[in-house]
Amino acid sequence: MNTMGLQGASIWVFSLLLLACLPAFARAASGDALWKKSPVSILESQIGYHPRNTKHVYLRSLQETPPEGVFALEFSVVNAATEETVFSGKVESWGRKWGSYWWVLDFTPLRTTGEFYVKTGSLTSSVFKVEDGVFQKTDLGVIALDQLEHRIHKGLDDTRAGIKGKYTRPGVRIYMDCGSPYAELEPVGTCVYALMDLHEKLGDRFPEKDRKRMIDLALLGADYVAASQRESDDPLKDGMFFHSLLVNANDTWAGNIFTYLDAAYGMALMARASSFFQKIDPERSARYLEVSKKAWRLCTHRPYHTEDDFKFPHGIQETFGRCVYNITDKDWKRPKTLRTRDRLPFIQGSALLYEITREEMYLSKAIESADAVAARQFTDWRNPIEGCFGNFYEFEGDDRSFFIEFAQGGHWWEGNVEACNLEGFMHLLRLAPDHPKAAAWLNVIRTYGYSYARPATTRNPLGIYPVACYRDPQHGGLKYFQNTLMGSSCLHGFSTKNFMQLGAFLRDSRFQLNAIAGVNFIAGLNPGVPNAFQDTAWDARSLIQGVGKSWFGPVGDLAPTARGSVPNGFSAAPQFWLHGDKDPRNFTNFIAYQEDKPAGLINAGGGLQFNEGWILHSHAYVQGVAHLEAPYTLCVTVEEDGRRVAAEVEVVLKENAPPHTVYRKTLLSKTGPE
């Protein structure tokens, strides 16, 4: 949708409804003129719900005690076809958060599939589905495949608006990643990871032609990353990656950024791609492995940032760091020592290289970096932040600045986008379970999962994972929307994937209940699109252009955005916000000082803010869905003195989480030496 000519949010809301004119939306559309003035807003998923997972609808209001009759003490779930009430429950008050009061309508016990709506008092939701695989079945192929194919550019021969005049290295094709002419390493890498996960975990739910498209698009991205590797006679540069090969012919700064983070991230991605493509394309698999090894040698040769890493034309580097990490020291300089963000992909990639080659040097360096990250874990259980501990400090020797889940910024800060990912620690435990430090690695994972990640989701009504954590007497706490330069929609897809990995590794299905909130946020269970800059009412929208009953799409992209694009989304500060003197010593406008509120969609003049579509956001969602909806596999083996033996085994399937009790059963299985 082209929203560039629309001046007011009210006009835009009407236009969205016209373009999202699915028949099942008629119930909600009939009340469109009313939602903007309603004292209470009803927010439901615009894609649907799983039968055996958490199912919520939310009420949101500025008033702690809304007018009588707006909603009742109870709610009903109604079959849309028969008008039969299939479930009734109590409207539960959650409390106050983000400047509003919230109520939860929990219908998790409803297992029946079909189409339903919720009503309470005078409020009625739109019609939604309850269905197995509902996220995959609702246009996941459009998001994962069609959108990327639309974004593939033809270099200088491409005459499309917003793309003309942009180029890559000759012979290199790639999908343009956002509203600007770039194809940054981490967004492209996120697509490659997502496509590999989608093929592995949900591929059999797609036709063969779409599985081939997954492979082709993943190869396109992996080839691009491989082509981005730098060759230099300088051993401190040889093996690094261009942050973006796609650049504007008139402004090439994006093609002149080289960071340690990109080297570590590219190394891990290439190792994963080498394993994935080993049987599909052995030649490429071998090439990707060599790219990964070269990047690993660079990372180990210079485990620090050099002065060249900091040489960029704009002097906002310390300013941005102070803003994002709430650093009050006026003389703070970017440290040359590696951050936690730099080390996590290095651990992951080194462990994968060890798995492929069984060369001890990779394992040794992974352990060395894991030790450094473990030492930065915040474990002061006596002084938790909002009852949480177990997250990580970002900088070496700094016990104030925590790892920020999304800290994308200009130049040296480019690529700071992936949420905290402990997959490397899981690889270490799987590959070296008897190592003397194995118990310490497990403790890192458990402390993070049970003392930070899971409890942090209970501090807000939507159950989402925080983007930041600050320890500040006035402005501290868990933050869910305090991100800059833009909204962090990708965080929610990443959090789903990470929770699923934590749950699988720790064998605790409760993490699945935390995981679903991330993709739900993108699917419409978010704070809602506001009616004005000073918002008083909200409408349920998915954050995927053209997908769902109603949706909020990208705004202001240079090139036309495709169906399936996901915008930056909500942020406490305006998009691309960084106020104050560029001299960091004069800077006082910290993001932590902003109200942690889901804003960032409408500007003070009442129009829409710039809100670009970004493949990072869409494919973090794809990755989350692939992990969330992947089928479970139960493998049973019987060993005696370390050797497999034949046996008849009684398998009792039990789940910790109530939504899964329907699957408790006892099976008889025969195992054998093979």
CA-to-CA distance for 570 and 492, rounded, in angstroms?
A: 12
- The secondary element (H helix, E strand) that includes residue 644 is strand 643-644
Integer angstrom CA distances of residue 193 from 136, 270, 348, 620, 627: 17, 10, 13, 9, 12
Q: Distance between CA 108 and CA 110 in Å, rounded?
A: 5
Per DSSP, the three-state class of 478 is strand
How confident is the model at residue 579, as a pLDDT?
Answer: 57
Q: Which residues pair with 670 in a beta bridge?
A: 648
Contact 109, 130 (CB under 8 A): no
* 3 state SS of 645: coil
Alpha-carbon Rg of the chain, whole angstroms? 25
453 and 465 Cβ atoms separated by less than 8 Å: yes
Residues in a beta bridge with 91: 105
Contact of 600 with 611, CB cutoff 8 Å: yes
**pLDDT value of residue 664:** 43
Do 262 and 245 meet the contact criterion of CB atoms below 8 Å apart?
no
| In 30-92, alpha helices (H) | 32-35
- Return the pLDDT at 315: 58
Can you tell me the distance from the alpha carbon of 622 to that of 615, in angstroms, rounded to the nearest whole number?
A: 10
* pLDDT confidence of residue 113: 97
Please enumerate in sequence order all residues whose Cβ is within 8 A of that of 377, keeping only pairs 6 or more positions apart, or say none: 390, 391, 392, 393, 444, 447, 448
Structural domains in the chain plus CATH codes: 135-628 (1.50.10.10), 639-671 (no CATH)
DSSP class of 603: -
Per-residue pLDDT at 367 = 99
Token pair listed for 80: 């849309």
Neighbour count for residue 65 (Cβ, 10 Å): 7
Which residues are CB-neighbours of 481 under 8 A, at least 6 positions away? 98, 467, 487, 570, 571, 572, 596, 597, 598, 599, 600
pLDDT of residue 637: 73
H/E element, 85: strand 85-97
The C-alpha atoms of residue 212 and residue 410 are separated, in whole angstroms, by: 36
Q: Provide the residue type at 71 as one letter.
A: F
Q: Calculate ∠ Cα 584-410-242, nearest 5°.
A: 135
Could you tell me if 489 and 474 are in contact, meaning their C-beta atoms sit under 8 angstroms apart? no
DSSP 96-134: EETTEEEEEEE-TT----EEEEEEETTEEPPPEEE-TTH
Chunked into runs of 10 residues, the chain (674 residues) has average pLDDT values of 27 26 32 81 98 97 97 98 98 97 98 98 97 97 97 80 75 84 94 98 97 99 97 96 85 84 99 98 99 99 92 72 88 93 99 98 99 98 97 95 92 91 98 97 99 98 97 91 88 98 94 97 97 95 97 89 95 75 69 89 90 96 97 74 78 48 47 51
| Per-residue CA distances from 432 to 270, 277, 644 (Å) | 22, 24, 20
In 3D space, the residue among 574, 556, 491, 569 whose CA is nearest the CA of residue 527 turns out to be 569
Cβ neighbours for 24, distance < 8 A, ≥ 6 positions apart: 80, 115, 126, 127, 549
Partners of residue 49 on adjacent β-strands: 130
List the Cα angle 664/666/667 in 5-degree steps.
125
